């Protein structure tokens, strides 16, 4: 089964601490930081990977992933065509991006030590 916008929303919101909010013309999913945005038409999503993760995704699944064509793309932001992803591939991409967006332990401690 190929992924849809509703799958992205359901899987992202199931990840620990994720909230959804508008971000320009997109829906953004974040924990401490935004880790994925969903296009208004629901056909694509932009994931925050490291540049190395982006390179691997774009090599292994070039029909599904491509760097965002600007400075954000050089930072690892990657466009995914949802219809080209299986649910397993979507879940894996979300988990990778989510891991980068969680607060670090030092940040969590400083927030709770007041």
Element housing 112 (H / E): helix 105-112
User: With a threshold of 0.85, does the pTM exceed it?
Assistant: yes
Task: Average the pLDDT over 48-55 and give the result.
Answer: 98
Q: Tens digits of per-residue pLDDT, 55-104?
A: 999 999 999 999 999 999 999 999 999 999 999 999 999 999 999 999 87
Just give the CATH number of 5-106.
Answer: 3.90.1150.30
Domain extent listing, the chain: 5-106
Which H, E and C letters describe 1-41, residue by residue? CECCHHHHHHHHHHCCCCEEEEECCEEEEECCCEEEEECCC
**Strand-by-strand arrangement of the 65-67 sheet:** 19-23, 26-30, 34-38, 44-48, 77-81, 65-67
């Amino acid at each position: 089964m190929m992924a849809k916008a509703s799958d992205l929303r359901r899987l992202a919101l199931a990840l620990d601490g994720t909230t959804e909010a508008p971000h320009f013309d997109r829906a953004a999913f974040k924990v401490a930081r935004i880790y994925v945005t969903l296009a208004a038409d629901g056909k694509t999503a932009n994931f925050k990977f490291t540049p190395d993760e982006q390179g691997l995704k774009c090599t292994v699944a070039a029909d599904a992933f491509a760097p965002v064509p600007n400075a954000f793309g050089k930072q690892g932001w990657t466009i995914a065509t949802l219809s080209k992803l299986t649910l397993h591939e979507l879940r894996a991409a979300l988990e990778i991006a989510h891991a980068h967006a969680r607060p670090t332990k030092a940040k969590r401690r400083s927030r709770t030590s007041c």
